[in-house]
Structure 1
Amino acid sequence: MTDALFILFVLCLNVILCEWLIKKRAIRHIGTALLVILVTAVESNLGIIPTTETPVYDSIFSYVAPFSLFLLLLGVNLKDLRQAGIPMLTMFLVGSAGTILGVFVSVWVFAAPQTVGTLFYALAGMFTGTYIGGSINFNAVALHYNVSKAGNLFVAATAADNIMTALWMVATISLPRFFQRRFPRHLPIAAEAAATSSDADPFSDSETVNPNDLAILLALGFGGIFLSQKIAVWIPAAPFVLILTTFALILAQFRVVNRLRGSRLLGLFGIYIFLAVIGAYCDIAALIRDGQLAIVLFGMILLLVLIHALIVFGVGALFRQDWDVLGIASQANIGGATSALALARSLNRPDLQLPAVLVGTLGNAIGTYLGILVAEMLR
C-alpha cells in the first residue's frame, strides 16, 4: 500500500502500539525508539507499507526529522551549566574526551573500513555523538550522512547501541557502590548542587500545551529549517545539520524560548516517526545474513565504552572524586540526560539529579559538532 495517508496512519499507529508495549515489564527496557524500528520493519517486510523510497518517507527525512531535532535542542540552556558544579562538569568533559579516543581506537582495532564498509566514518561520528550526549546526536549525524537510508546498517547500529546503553546503566549502578565499599569517599556536596536539587522530572513526557505555545514552536521550527537551508546554500561548506543545531542553541539561550511547553513532546513524537521510517527501509532477511555486521558494531561500541570508562574512573580516582559523580557523569555521556537522571535516583542522590540533567543537555549541545568532526577526520 503506497497511499500517503495510509502510510502516515500506520506510522502513527506504530508509535501508539510501542508506547503501550514498553509499559509491559518483559520489554520495557527495549525502549520506544528501538521497538518502533522493529515493529515497522516487520510491517514493511510483510508488504503492509513500502520498503522503498516514497514521497512520504522523503518528506519525513527532509522536514520532520530536522524539525524534531530542532525542537529537542530548544531545551538546552547553557546558562544552567553553572548549577552542575565543577566536579560533575569536569568529569563529563573528561568522559567526552575518553569517548573520542575510544572511537579512534575501535575503528583501528576492528579495521572498520573493511568490516563496516564505506560508511564507517559516519558510524564513527554517530557513536561519538551518542556517547557524548545521547540519541539526539546519533540521529543528527546519521541524518547528515544519509546513514538513515541505509536501513540495515542503521538498525544494526541502533540495536548495538541500545544493548550497550542498557548494560552501561547496570554498570554505573554497580561500580560506584563497589568502589565506595573498597575505597570510601566522604566528600562534601557542592552547595550549589544541594541547593538546586529537585525531585521534579524535567524530562517528563507529559506537558500541557496551549495553542499559543504550539504556534510559536511551529513558527520557530519552520523558520529555523528555512533559514538553515538558505545559509547552507550560501555557504556550501557549512553542513545543514550544524547550522540548524547552532540556530536552535542560540534560540534556547533565551528563557522565553527555552521554557516553551511542548518542545520535548513534539520533538519526541517526530523522532519516533523518523525512526519508524528507518525501520521501513530495513530488509530483515538481509539483516540476518549480515549478522556479522551487528557483532562487529557491538564489539566497536564495547571497546570504546571500556576506554571511556577507564579514563573517567581512572582520572576520577586519581583526583579522589565522589564515585557517584563519576558514575553519573559517565552515564550522561553514554545514555544522555534522561539516563543520568534515572541513575541519580537509583543511587539515592537527589542532590545530583539536576547536575545529571544539565551535563546531559551539554552533551546534546556539543555531541553533533564533535560527531561530525570525528567523521570528517576519518573520511
Structure 2
Amino acid sequence: MEIKNDAVIFGILMLILAAIFVTSSSNNKRWKKFYTYVPPLLLCYFVPGFLNWPLGMVNPEESQLYFVASRYLLPASLVLFCLSIDLKGVFNLGPKALIMFITATIGIVIGAPIALWISAAIFPDIKEALPGDEIWRGLSTIAGSWIGGGANQTAMKEIYACKDDLFSSMIIIDVFVANIWMGVLLFGAGRYLQIDKRLKADNSSIEDLKHRVESYRASIAKIPTANDVFVILAIGFGATAIAHLGSDYIAPYMDNHRAFLDKYNLSSLASGFFWLIVIATTIGLALSFTKLKKYEGAGASRFGSVFIYILVATIGMKMNFLEAFNNMHYFVIGLIWMLVHVTILLVVAKIIRAPFFFVAVGSQANIGGAASAPIVASAFSTALAPVGVLLAVLGYALGTYAAIIATQLMQWTY
C-alpha cells in the first residue's frame, strides 16, 4: 500500500527515529550488544529505505519531506551547530583536513576514467552507443555531483549535452552508490578510534576541539525554559529566513550573468541552494561571537541534531535497493569508481597519518556536499559538524572545474 500523505509518512519516520533512540539508550544487554556494532545513525539512515523498497509504502519522488528537511531544517541546524563553534580550534586542526579533501577530489577525477575502462572490459556494449548517447556524457554529471553538488551536476549536463534518458540512468549511480558509501562512513564513525590506530593517525587536534566545545557546553548547561526554546527556534529559523531571502535575491542576479559564470565554470554561484547554505553558515559563525552563544547551554545543538536526524531519515527514504539489480552495469561503474576514490583516500591517509575523521568528512564534502557532510561530521561529534559544512562549500567552488578534467580523461579513455 502506497502512502501519499506526507503527514503520515513523517509520522512513520518519527516513530522509526524514536524507536532507534529509545532502544539505543536502553539498558537491555541485547540492545547494548547490538548497538556496539551498529551505530544508531546508520539505522536512522537505512531503515527508512525499506519504506521505499521492498515495502513500497512511499514514493520519494512525490514526497516533499526531503525538500522541506533540506531547505528548512538543514539551514537551521547549521546555524545552531555553528553557534558554539570554536573557530580557533577549527583552524588548529591543521592542513591535513584540506589535504584529505583535495585527495578525495583527485580520487573522483582519476576514478572516472579507470571505472569506465574496467567496466567497458566487463560490459563491451557500454561503448556501443549512438552519437550523443555516449556514456561518458552521463558520467560527467556524476563527476559534477560527486565533487560539487546539484548545481555542478546540472552544469555538466548542459556542457556535455547529456540526454534526459541517460541522465535519469546516471541518477542511479549518483544516489545509490553514494548512499552506500555514506552508510559505510557512518558505520566507521562509530569505530574511528580503532581505525585511527590502524592508520597510526594523530587525532589529538580533533579530540582537543571536541573537548573544548563539550567543556564549554557543560559550563553553561541549564534546564531550558519555554523562553529558551523559543529563542533557540527563533535563532535557527530566523537565520534560515534571512538565508532564503538572501538566496532569493542573489541567485537570480547571478543567473542573469550566466554567460560570464559559464565562461569561468562558476555556474554553482547561480544555485539558490548554494547561497542558502553559505548564508546560513555565515550567520551561524557570526552569531558565535555574540551573547547568543550562551543558548548552547539550553540545548541549541540538540535541536540541530534533531533536525539533522530528520534529514537523514528523509535521505534514507529515497534509497531503492532494487535499482542496483535492474541496472547492474551502471552499478558496477559507480562501485569501481567509488573503490578507486576510497583506495586513494586511505593510501594518502596512511602516508600522512590523517585521522579517519578527515578521511570521512573530506570524502563526504565531495560526494554528498552540504546536505550530508555535516551528518557524517556530527556522527563523530556534533562539535565537528561545521567542519563538514566549510569543506562542502569548498567542493561547490571546485566541482565544475574538476568534473571537466574528469570528463576529458573519460573521453580519452572512450
| Band of TM-score, shorter chain | 0.5 to 0.7
Q: Distance in 2 between matches of 1:172 and 1:313?
A: 14
* Residues 123 and 307 (structure 1), Cα distance of their counterparts in 2 relative to 1, 3 Å cut: same
Residues 1:308 and 2:345 are matched in the alignment: yes
Residues 1:285 and 2:322 are matched in the alignment: yes
Q: Which amino acid aligns with 2:274?
A: L
* Alpha-carbon shift at residue 365 of structure 1 (Å): 1.0
Residues 1:67 and 2:94 are matched in the alignment: no
Q: Distance in 1 between matches of 2:9 and 2:199?
A: 50
Residue equivalent to 2:5? 3
Q: Distance in 2 between matches of 1:22 and 1:118?
A: 45
Give matches, 1:261-276, under 5 Å: 261=296, 263-276=300-313
Residue equivalent to 2:283? 251
Q: Distance in 2 between matches of 1:118 and 1:32?
A: 38
8 Å CA contact 1:45–1:284 kept in 2: the answer is yes
Instruction: Please identify the structure whose Cα radius of gyration is greater.
Output: 2
Residues 1:160 and 2:181 are matched in the alignment: yes
* Alpha-carbon shift at residue 85 of structure 1 (Å): 6.3
* Residues 7 and 207 (structure 1), Cα distance of their counterparts in 2 relative to 1, 3 Å cut: farther
1:233 to 213, 228, 252: 252
User: What's the TM-score once normalised by structure 1's chain length?
Assistant: 0.67
8 Å CA contact 1:151–1:281 kept in 2: the answer is no
User: Which segments of 5 or more consecutive residues in structure 2 lack a partner in the other structure?
Assistant: 26-30, 121-125, 127-134, 155-166, 259-269, 365-372, 405-414
Q: Percent identity?
A: 13
Q: Distance in 1 between matches of 2:139 and 2:241?
A: 32
Residue equivalent to 2:114? 109
Q: Which amino acid aligns with 1:63?
A: V
Q: Distance in 1 between matches of 2:253 and 2:88?
A: 36
* Residues 178 and 263 (structure 1), Cα distance of their counterparts in 2 relative to 1, 3 Å cut: closer
8 Å CA contact 1:95–1:330 kept in 2: the answer is yes
* Alpha-carbon shift at residue 106 of structure 1 (Å): 1.1
Q: Distance in 2 between matches of 1:197 and 1:294?
A: 41
Give matches, 1:182-193, under 5 Å: none
What whole-Å deviation, never above 9, does each CA across 1:217-266 have from its counterpart, x for those lacking one? 22222332233133212322521122112212221223235554455444
Q: Distance in 1 between matches of 2:7 and 2:214?
A: 39
* Residues 337 and 220 (structure 1), Cα distance of their counterparts in 2 relative to 1, 3 Å cut: closer
1:200 to 199, 202, 214: 214
The 3-state SS of whatever aligns with 2:177 is: helix
8 Å CA contact 2:39–2:190 kept in 1: the answer is no
Residue equivalent to 1:211? 230
Q: Which amino acid aligns with 1:67?
A: Y
Residues 1:96 and 2:101 are matched in the alignment: yes
What whole-Å deviation, never above 9, does each CA across 1:330-374 have from its counterpart, x for those lacking one? 45535778978988xxxxxxxxx9xx956x633421323314632
Residues 1:44 and 2:52 are matched in the alignment: yes
Give matches, 1:68-147, under 5 Å: 68-74=73-79, 75-76=81-82, 80-84=86-90, 88-111=93-116, 120-121=139-140, 123-125=142-144, 127-128=146-147, 141=149
8 Å CA contact 1:175–1:327 kept in 2: the answer is yes
2:241 to 210, 219, 222: 222
Q: Distance in 1 between matches of 2:379 and 2:4?
A: 41
Q: Distance in 1 between matches of 2:313 and 2:200?
A: 41
8 Å CA contact 2:49–2:319 kept in 1: the answer is yes
